[in-house]
């Protein structure tokens, strides 16, 4: 009898019901045991009282009927890889390994494996799914090979989190705090632009006589078209505001279409004879240097980049999630050692009008409890990092601090790392800027279709990289919390930019930076139907940290 693919997830769920997570090795061993249920019960009974996670050693103790008791941590570190362990597994198990890669039913499909370039990228999940459909006929891996591949060496791992403002919020909501936030934004973005133009401040330019060259770095405070169809862009710095005119027939007029309020740019040109206006010849964004070279990991290791799980919604795709979690237990996923979740863990309560009609779990804490149960299906040896989104129970205004103690208590089982939105997570040398993505709605609404659309969310992400700010425009969809520092500035160019929120899958490279919008685990809601949002649900982009290539897997 073939062991169904969901076996590992079923085992993980069963363990979860006893309050345990487990290593992949442990689950593999349980799945292979002749009497899985019996072994599971024994393992749970024998597990050290204070343990949250069952290890392979715990399981081996009961399967091999070794004397029970606390394991020796040193012995565990030296434990044999599990390829050597299941000698008791009859040969028959080779045909039904719980860790088979792909199934006949094609529940997990290798949607596409390509290294996108700046100009191409994906064009949304639907199209991408049609491109390559590998994996559906892949043979199951030989059980005797499985163990060695799934050995995880914690010493090789590294996760560092920067720009995490959790616990450092200073804002009181006073006007003065906004002044500091914007001052900080200006200073830091202006610092990136200083080498490009010969900057003089607004007051100095105002005071200078007409004619001659001038350059200025400023925050966009107004954009108007003139009666004759030119663009009047007002730039503000710490000393004042100065009007800059971009003629409609100049090549740079196209750049005006990309401007958002409150972003910081530099311009250069000539002053009008009366000195009252700057005619712009050049316009610069802080941008990513063209020569940017991303860092990569020193070994072949992968990270799954997901977001928008929306547990608690009637549309949460529990089956797809379990397929994904099961796949993580397979050999094919043996190198997936990190799981990054970019916000909207749960559906939340009262996020949108009439949302309660579509709730499966109505209490917010119960939603996190349920989410935590689903998280336990993920192998216990995968490092998880999560940031909040607009549906999560943290303040809505950005930057959003990471989950508070009460929520952490609920989600302790998997020992996930929790950071603010946004945060920079460096995984084995690869820096991943994680941001939930509420500003993407704004970028898509404001910019022309070709520059940003729901079908190509990564293009909207390119705009944020170009502006070196994750949420430039203030006062629209995106709510900003005043802080002494602007945590939304993209100080250092990341190697990977990971967002979610728009529920559309899309990825591509912008000047060598991989931008990934990761889709969702929620089927179309009534609201989304009413506004024609067709979500890409059940996709898991898998990133090779050593090459920055991506493979997208579909789970249904």
SS3 of residue 86 by DSSP: helix
352 touches ligand D5M (CB under 6 A): yes
- Smallest distance, Zn ion to C-beta of residue 502, A: 8
501 touches Zn ion (CB under 5 A): yes
Query: Interface residues for ligand D5M in 303-342 (CB under 6 A)?
Result: 308
**What 8-state DSSP symbol labels residue 96?**
S
Among 527, 529, 547, 556, binds ligand D5M (CB under 6 A): 527
Query: Interface residues for Zn ion in 368-397 (CB under 5 A)?
Result: 389-390
Q: Which is nearer to ligand D5M, 275 or 476 (CB)?
A: 476
- Smallest distance, ligand D5M to C-beta of residue 522, A: 7
Which tokens belong to 35? 């009497």
Q: Which residue is nearest to ligand D5M (CB)?
A: 352
- Smallest distance, Zn ion to C-beta of residue 500, A: 7
**What 8-state DSSP symbol labels residue 85?**
S
390 touches ligand D5M (CB under 6 A): yes
- Smallest distance, Zn ion to C-beta of residue 390, A: 4
Location of structure tokens 């992949």: 24
Question: Please, where are the H alpha helices in 112-167?
Answer: 125-131, 143-149
**What 8-state DSSP symbol labels residue 15?**
H
- Smallest distance, Zn ion to C-beta of residue 310, A: 9
58 touches ligand D5M (CB under 6 A): no
Q: Which residues of this protein are in contact with Fe ion, per CB under 5 A? A: 308, 344
Q: What is the spatial distance between Cα 421 and Cα 437, in angstroms, rounded to a whole number?
A: 9
Instruction: Decide: 27 and 329 in contact? Cβ < 8 Å.
Output: yes
In 6-135, DSSP assigns E strands to: 21-22, 53-54, 108-114
Query: Interface residues for ligand D5M in 103-162 (CB under 6 A)?
Result: none
Which of ligand D5M, Zn ion, Fe ion, none is residue 151 near (CB under 5 to 8 Å by kind)?
Answer: none
For residue 426, give Cα distances in angstroms to 297, 341, 429, 432, 547.
10, 14, 6, 6, 15
- Smallest distance, ligand D5M to C-beta of residue 87, A: 49
Location of structure tokens 């689950």: 27
Query: Interface residues for ligand D5M in 491-510 (CB under 6 A)?
Result: 501-503
Location of structure tokens 């009898």: 1
Among 206, 319, 441, 534, binds ligand D5M (CB under 6 A): 441
SS3 of residue 337 by DSSP: strand
525 touches Zn ion (CB under 5 A): no
Q: Which is nearer to ligand D5M, 270 or 355 (CB)?
A: 355
Q: Which residue is nearest to Zn ion (CB)?
A: 501
Contacts of 444 (CB under 8 A, 6+ apart): 452, 453, 454, 457, 460, 502
398 touches Zn ion (CB under 5 A): no
Element (H, E) at 209: none
Q: Which is nearer to ligand D5M, 131 or 441 (CB)?
A: 441
Which of ligand D5M, Fe ion, Zn ion, none is residue 502 near (CB under 5 to 8 Å by kind)?
Answer: ligand D5M
Q: Which is nearer to ligand D5M, 419 or 502 (CB)?
A: 502
Which tokens belong to 74? 């040193």
- Smallest distance, Zn ion to C-beta of residue 389, A: 4
Which of Zn ion, ligand D5M, Fe ion, none is residue 467 near (CB under 5 to 8 Å by kind)?
Answer: none
SS3 of residue 220 by DSSP: strand
268 touches ligand D5M (CB under 6 A): no
Q: Which is nearer to Fe ion, 132 or 523 (CB)?
A: 523
Which of Fe ion, ligand D5M, Zn ion, none is residue 441 near (CB under 5 to 8 Å by kind)?
Answer: ligand D5M
Handedness of CA 528, 531, 533, 534 (dihedral sign): positive
397 touches ligand D5M (CB under 6 A): no
Which tokens belong to 446? 């404001």
Among 23, 61, 344, 398, binds ligand D5M (CB under 6 A): 344
Which tokens belong to 5? 């693919």
- Smallest distance, Zn ion to C-beta of residue 241, A: 34
Location of structure tokens 């050049």: 282
344 touches Zn ion (CB under 5 A): yes
Location of structure tokens 């216990």: 380
422 touches Zn ion (CB under 5 A): no
- What strands lie across the sheet with 423-427, from one edge to the other? 159-162, 423-427, 430-434, 496-499, 513-518, 505-510
- What strands lie across the sheet with 108-114, from one edge to the other? 108-114, 550-555, 539-544, 302-306, 336-342, 383-387, 417-418
459 touches ligand D5M (CB under 6 A): no
- Smallest distance, ligand D5M to C-beta of residue 22, A: 30
Instruction: List residues binding Zn ion (CB under 5 A).
Output: 344, 389-390, 501
Instruction: List residues binding ligand D5M (CB under 6 A).
Output: 308, 344, 352, 390-391, 441, 501-503, 527-528, 533
């Amino acid at each position: 009898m073939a062991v169904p693919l969901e076996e590992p997830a079923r085992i993980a769920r069963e363990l979860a019901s006893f309050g345990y997570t487990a290593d992949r090795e442990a689950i593999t061993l349980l799945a292979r045991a002749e009497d899985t249920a019996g072994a599971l019960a024994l393992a749970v009974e024998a597990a050290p009282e204070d343990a949250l996670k069952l290890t392979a050693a715990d399981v081996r103790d009961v399967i091999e009927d070794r004397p029970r008791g606390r394991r020796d941590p040193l012995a565990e570190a030296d434990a044999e890889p599990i390829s050597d362990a299941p000698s008791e597994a009859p040969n028959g198990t080779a045909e039904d390994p719980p860790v088979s890669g792909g199934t006949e039913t094609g529940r997990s499909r290798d949607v596409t494996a390509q290294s996108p370039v700046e100009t191409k990228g994906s064009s949304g999940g639907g199209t991408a799914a049609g491109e390559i459909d590998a994996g559906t006929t892949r043979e199951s891996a030989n059980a005797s090979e499985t163990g060695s591949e799934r050995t995880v060496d914690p010493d090789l791992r590294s996760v560092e989190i920067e720009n995490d403002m959790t616990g450092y919020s200073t804002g009181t909501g006073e006007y003065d705090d906004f002044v500091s936030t914007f001052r900080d934004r200006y200073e830091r973005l202006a610092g990136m632009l200083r080498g490009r133009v010969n900057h003089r401040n607004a007051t100095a330019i105002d005071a200078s006589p007409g004619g001659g060259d001038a350059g200025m770095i400023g925050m966009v405070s107004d954009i108007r078209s003139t009666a004759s169809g030119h663009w009047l862009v007002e730039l503000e710095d710490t000393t004042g505001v100065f009007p800059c005119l971009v003629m409609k027939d100049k090549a740079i007029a196209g750049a005006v279409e990309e401007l958002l309020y409150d972003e910081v740019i530099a311009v250069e040109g000539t002053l009008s004879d009366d000195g009252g206006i700057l005619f712009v010849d050049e316009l610069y964004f802080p941008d990513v240097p063209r020569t940017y070279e991303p860092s990569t990991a020193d070994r072949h290791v992968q990270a799954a980049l997901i977001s928008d799980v929306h547990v608690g919604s009637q549309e949460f795709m529990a089956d797809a999630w379990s397929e994904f979690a099961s796949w993580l237990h397979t050999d094919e996923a043996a190198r997936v050692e990190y799981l990054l979740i970019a916000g909207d863990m749960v559906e939340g309560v009262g996020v949108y009008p009439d949302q309660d009609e579509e709730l499966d779990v109505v209490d917010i804490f119960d939603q996190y409890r349920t989410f935590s149960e689903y998280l336990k299906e993920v192998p216990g040896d995968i490092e998880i990092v999560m940031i909040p989104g607009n549906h999560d129970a943290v303040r809505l205004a950005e930057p959003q601090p990471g989950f508070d103690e009460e929520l952490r208590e609920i989600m302790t089982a998997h020992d996930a790392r929790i950071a603010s939105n946004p945060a920079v997570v460096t995984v084995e040398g690869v820096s991943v800027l994680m941001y939930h993505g509420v500003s993407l709605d704004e970028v898509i609404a404001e910019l022309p279709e070709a520059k940003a659309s729901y079908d190509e969310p990564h293009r909207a992400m390119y705009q944020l990289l170009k502006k070196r700010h994750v949420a430039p425009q203030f006062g629209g969809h995106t709510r900003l919390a005043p802080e002494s520092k602007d945590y939304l500035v993209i100080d250092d160019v990341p190697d990977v930019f990971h967002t979610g929120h728009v529920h559309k899958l899309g990825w591509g490279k912008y000047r060598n930076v991989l931008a990934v919008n990761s889709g969702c685990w929620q089927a179309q809601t009534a609201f989304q139907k009413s506004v024609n949002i067709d979500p890409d649900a059940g996709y898991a982009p898998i990133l090779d940290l050593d090459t920055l290539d991506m493979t997208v897997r579909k789970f249904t």
